[in-house]
Amino acid sequence: MEDPAAKYFSTKVTSRDRAVFEAGIAIGTAVHQFTGTPLKSLEDVRVLEEAIKRALLAQPFRERVEVKIHFERSPSGGPYDYTTLRARDMDLRVVVKYGSCRVAARLKYIKELDYALAYIEDIEEEVK
């Protein structure tokens, strides 16, 4: 796919660089756009998972997005019985294809770090 924005990037930027860059943008979008979203039910969780997936797939060069939100509902059932989405509640995988490179990036809570880590899971480059 031709990229009309490529002319704005340094000529030193490779397809690999752009694929990693785009994957980082996708994960940053999910974290910064959706954290804080109120959740009250499993139906809310499923709707939000789909919304995050669609939002990320709308961005250029995205091939696949998988979203899983870990949700624990409080048993009180009162009017204030809801939670808000945190980065640590998201398990997100995005696959970006740019030029000759495909990158799989992940956002996942890592218990030993006590942190929702964004990282590169895999990189594949086509040999021409």
pTM of the predicted structure, to 2 decimals: 0.91
- Amino acid 109 reads Y
Over residues 56-80, the mean pLDDT reads: 90
φ/ψ of residue 92, rounded to 5: -125, 135
- Report the chain's mean pLDDT, rounded to a whole number: 94
**Residue with tokens 């048993």, as numbered in its chain:** 75
Stretch among 25-34, 70-79, 86-95, 100-109 having the lowest mean pLDDT: 70-79
pLDDT confidence of residue 67: 98
Domain map of the chain by residue range? 13-125
pLDDT confidence of residue 46: 97
Q: Is the pLDDT of residue 78 over 90?
A: no
**What CATH class has 13-125?**
alpha beta
Are the CB atoms for 92 and 66 separated by under 8 Å? yes
Taking alpha carbons only, the member of 45, 27, 46 closest to residue 94 is 27
Q: Is the sign of the CA dihedral 8, 11, 15, 18 positive or negative? A: negative
- What's the token pair of residue 83? 């939670």
**Tens of pLDDT, residues 99-121:** 999 999 999 999 999 999 999 99
Q: Is the pLDDT of residue 126 over 90?
A: no
**Tens of pLDDT, residues 41-61:** 999 999 999 999 999 999 999
At 128, is the pLDDT very low, low, confident or very high (cuts 50, 70, 90)?
A: low
